[in-house]
A = this chain, B = another copy of it.
Amino acid sequence: MIPYASRMARVAPSAIMALLKQAAGGGFINLASGLPDAALFPHETIRALADDVLTRDWKAALQYGPAEGHPPLRDFVAELMRRRGVAATAENILITSGSQQALDLAARAFVERGSVVSIESPSYLAAIQTFDSYEVDYAAAPLDDDGVRDDVLIANLRHAAGSGRVFQYLLPNFQNPTGLTLSVDRRMRIAEGAADLQLPLLEDDAYYDLRYEGAALPPLAALADNPLAQYTGTFSKTIAPGLRVGWVFGSPEVIAKLAQLKQITDLHSGSLTQRLAFEFCARGHLEPQIAKLCEAYRAKRDVMLNALHRTMPDGMTWTRPRGGMFVFVTMPAGVDADVLLQRALERKLMFVPGRPFFPRNSSSESTGGNTLRLNFVSPPSDEIARGVEVLAELLRSGEP
């Protein structure tokens, strides 16, 4: 019996994720992953930038750096935030090792045992796992075509705020796992609701740039004056995740505190990789790369949606994401995605059953047992179409 701290009781691997990890490789059609399409990585540009940075600026690129991040990158990210409609300077920005670290730092600063995290159900799995490690309770709100139900969410916030510490977490754009986007009206009401109650809020906008139709919508951080509003973004989906460069936006006071946490967590993010991300942006590579990704991912999304439309039996529904990486499928009640996955693996098809995305210990009624998530950006188009066909065959061919 290893004497772990109490919090570790809620740190455990997902059985499904372990199964999928085991199965990876070996000729599977993989609609399960959370990965971007590696074939689109701007590797030649990054190689040239690495050569330049390590020729021109190697002393700083290889040395310890400030906890807050590489100053020119903080400036550039502030500019990115302003383009998204959020007033920001470098003081509002902490560079993190991907947006996962931003999420962990914000949770570490604001939640503890007994805190209530107001969350979408379903929500991003690794966020749920992070909050679990801080021993929180959940108040969950379901989603419909306009994103999370703001009426339920705000009622949850009011109820929880009366009895203790509350933290709001949500993904406004092309949400993981559903692909759904929160409408502007709802964004305003939620942003104002959290501001009125003076609650900390973390908006996880990892997919902002991966928009395949419609105009960009304003972040919640732009819609209400809330000094506890935080927002996280990342270069993982637009440049490359292997660099581990993301950021969190917040008030200068909150950012200074998160930077102190960052320092005791890992001192600072990579000096070389921050410079690669900065030079990539500063030299004008970001926008063309985003345009290239959106064109390719839009086409793949359409392959998946067309295949679903063509093949799915009656009683199945699925989301039609305007961006991001995922389609979320709901099967008839009683069909169990975990059981279906076992049969799919025999046919060399992988997807992620939806259940782990639904926070446990929450007021939400749905446990998501009849749902599943499909990634449409990572596999080649022919495998996307073939994978959906196999899924349809499994659903038609008897007991799931």
Residues of A in contact with B (beta carbons under 8 Å apart): 2-8, 11-13, 34-36, 38-39, 41, 43, 46-47, 50-51, 54-55, 58-65, 96-98, 100-101, 104, 108-112, 115, 126, 129-130, 133-134, 165, 198, 200, 227-228, 236, 240-244, 253-254, 257, 260-261, 263-273
Contacts and interface: CB of A to CB of B under 8 A. Distances in A.
Given A3-B110, A104-B265, 15 more contacts: A2-B254, A3-B198, A3-B228, A4-B257, A5-B110, A13-B260, A43-B58, A47-B58, A100-B265, A129-B263, A129-B264, A241-B271, A244-B269, A265-B265, A270-B273
13 contacts: A3-B228, A5-B109, A8-B109, A36-B63, A38-B59, A41-B58, A43-B54, A43-B62, A47-B51, A65-B242, A100-B264, A243-B272, A244-B267
A47 B253 CA distance: 38
A266 B34 CA distance: 15
A378 to B, nearest CB: 10
A63 B241 contact: yes
Contact of A63 (B5, B13, B96, B242): B242
Given A62-B38, A63-B41, A242-B62, A104 B266 contact: yes
Q: 3 closest Cβ contacts across the A-B interface?
A: A242-B271, A62-B240, A43-B58
Contacts of A263: 126, 129
Given A3-B110, A58-B47, A242 B64 contact: yes
A112 B134 CA distance: 11
A35 B236 CA distance: 29
